[in-house]
Each structure stands twice: as C-alpha cells, then as structure tokens.
Amino acid sequence: MLRANAAAAETARRVSPETLDSLSEAGIFRMTAPKRFGGQEVDFQTQCDVLAEIARGCPSTSWVATIYSAMSWLAGVFPDEAQEEVFATRDPRISGVFSPTGTAVRVSGGLSVNGRWPFNTGCHGSEWTVLNAVLATDTGPGVPTCVIARSRELILLDDWYATGMTATGSNTVVAENVFVPAHRTLPLPDVIEARYPARHNDDNPYFNYPLAPVLAVNAGGTPVGIARGALDVFFERLPGRGIAYTNYTNKMEAPITHLQLGEAVMKIESADGHVRRAARLLDDHPREKMSIKARVKSRVHISYATGLAREAVDTLFYASGASSIQTQVPIQRFQRDMQALANHAIMHAPTAIELYGRVLCGLEPNTPIY
C-alpha cells in the first residue's frame, strides 16, 4: 500500500488521510505513548525496525510517523494535566518543530505565543503541535520553551514545495496570540537535561531520557528503510537489463554491477549496525543518567548511519542507468528523499561527527541540543 500510494502522496505534498488512518489502526502512533493512556512504550530498537519497514515503502510516510512517535514520547514527560488532554483520544497525532522562531509572554494562566515555524512535518494530520518559543524575561535573552498547542489554533501556510521528502507536508505554521496553558509548557533547557516535572510516570525510566538522544535514535529507522527500499526497486528492474554503450546485454553478469551492489549492501548493513548501537545506548541503560559523551554518541551513530545509507542509495541510483530519472521509476524518489533527509540538522553526518570529536577532546558541545 505504501509504495503504491507514494507517487500520489508526492503529488499531493502530504500523506493521505487514508494512509494515516491505516497506521493509526496498526498502532504506529501509540508506540511511544504512556501505557496509562493505551500506549505501548516500545523500546527504541523496535521503533527503528518498524519505521524502517514503513520507509521501505514510502520514506515520507515513515518520517511523518517518526515525528508523531517522537512527539508522543515528549508529551509523556509533561505534567499529568497536559498528558490527560493530549492523550484523551488514546491515539493522538502530534507534530513538532524545535527551531526557536517564536516568542512567548506570560499571561494569566499560561503563555501567549506568536511566531512562524517552517518544516512542521505532518502538520496536515496533526491534532497537537509542539513548538519552541523564546519566553521573554525581565533580564537576559529569554528562555526557549516547549509548548504544546492545539493544531486547529495555528495558521497553516501552503508553502512546502520540496524536491525530496515532498509528501511529508512540512509546511510553515503560524501562531498569532495563541494561548497555551501553563501545564502545556516546559523550559527547553530542562527538557534537554531531563529535568522533568512531577507526574504519574516520573519513576518510569522510559520517560526520563534527555530529549536529544530520543529524537536522534527515533529517527534512525527511516534512512535505513529508504536504503532498503532503494535496494528492493533496484533488484526489481535488474533482470534482463543491459548496460548502454557496452557489450553487456545482461547487467547481472557485469563485474561493475557486482561491485556496486556489494558495496551498497554492505553500507546498508553497516548503517543498520550503527542504528542498533545507538538504540542500545537507550534500551540497555534506562536507569542510568546519560553522560554527555553517550548522548552525543547516540546522535553520531544515527547521523553516520544516515551518511552510509545515502551513499548506498546514490550507488544504487547511479547503477540504475539514465532511465531511472523518469518519474515513474521509484528509485529516483528514494534517491531524492534520501538526499533531503541527509541534510536534516540532526541527521547531517559532518556536523555530528565534528560534535563527537569535540566531546572526545574534552570540549563542550557546540550546540544547545545534545
């Protein structure tokens, strides 16, 4: 179903309501929700495995599911009153953006939020939206603050025109004097350091990880799945094809194909290995406070895996011949989606590798989110 709908989703620039409903019925959006509200609290490796399988059919759908599941986990660290609101439907769809491109001021009972947030993946289907707004203070530059707003109270701009991950519908959302009650707000520095408020699940290690490792590891399934999907469609077109302007009438007999295919598969398997090591940093040590090194290492595993997956997809794409650039040939979509994802700030390999090297040298991280 996912691959069959991928082209239509790309044309629509969003995942269809029918696809979202199917994922909901399968329990995908409940993977990380608190069990108290019908959630599953699924371990991180299983999350990655599930999201990889979705990406194998449609990368954009996998990324929307990734964001929804990550934000569902985040909602589980908010005060009970917020959780009871957000999880009232037992299967909420929550999008989220962490760029601090909004502002907030204190008003009676909460915050008044204003701003514009681009790249709000899955905004068309979301019921709630996590935003990052800088809360004004009497002194200093202000405090970045996570707020959970009702999606219907935000203005959705139709501005998502992208060459990759097109069906994610990652449009800009705008808040104009949107009121957010205090129980649906948390200072971002506290979330980064896992300083969470008292709540019914505050003794549950699953909801006491720092934010950044959760965001990074949860994202690891999609790039691996994209690479596997590209491999699937490469094999489907391989039999009976030759190599233009050569004597090879059967590409399967050409040594260059063997080299390209072997290299791509090894990179996919290596990427999967890095994702598994990142997941173990969370799954195997749930009650241990994560060191800065461990937190950064979880991110570098995922970003390095993304780089390997991108290289694998590029190899398969260039091994597919000129006909692969036609829009009806699926591998071109996998290649474009992979390029887009590899440029995501959390998934960008060079940035994360530099960050890891800094920490290994005893320096402080050069990012506020780690």
What is the pLDDT, as a whole number, of residue 282? 97
User: pLDDT at residue 23 above 90?
Assistant: yes
User: pLDDT at residue 140 above 90?
Assistant: no
Nearest to 112 by CA among 142, 75, 149: 149
Strands 143-150 and 128-135: antiparallel
Query: What's the CA gap between 136 and 207, in Å, rounded?
Result: 28
- The average pLDDT across 114-142 equals 96
DSSP annotation of 197 reads: P
- Tell me the per-residue pLDDT of 143-172, one tens digit each, with 9 for 90 and over: 999 999 999 999 999 999 999 999 999 999
Q: Contact at 8 Å (CB) between 251 and 236?
A: no
Query: Model-level pTM greater than 0.95?
Result: yes
Nearest to 68 by CA among 151, 10, 3, 126: 126
Indicate the pLDDT class of residue 286, thresholds 50, 70 and 90: confident
Residues 6+ apart with CB under 8 A from 74: 94, 96, 130, 146, 191, 211, 214
Nearest 5°: phi and psi at 113? -115, 135
Q: C-alpha angle with apex 317: 238 to 279, nearest 5 degrees?
A: 105
27: left (phi over 0), alpha (psi -120 to 50) or beta: left
What is the pLDDT, as a whole number, of residue 312? 99
- Tell me the per-residue pLDDT of 215-244, one tens digit each, with 9 for 90 and over: 999 999 999 999 999 999 999 999 999 999
- Tell me the per-residue pLDDT of 28-83, one tens digit each, with 9 for 90 and over: 999 999 999 999 999 999 999 999 999 999 999 999 999 999 999 999 999 999 99
Domains of the chain with bracketed CATH:
2-89 (1.10.540.10), 94-187 (2.40.110.10), 211-360 (1.20.140.10)
DSSP annotation of 109 reads: T
The token pair at 314 is: 């590029």
Q: Contact at 8 Å (CB) between 98 and 40?
A: no
Helices H / strands E in the chain, number of each: 12, 8
What is the pLDDT, as a whole number, of residue 35? 97
Q: C-alpha angle with apex 128: 200 to 21, nearest 5 degrees?
A: 100
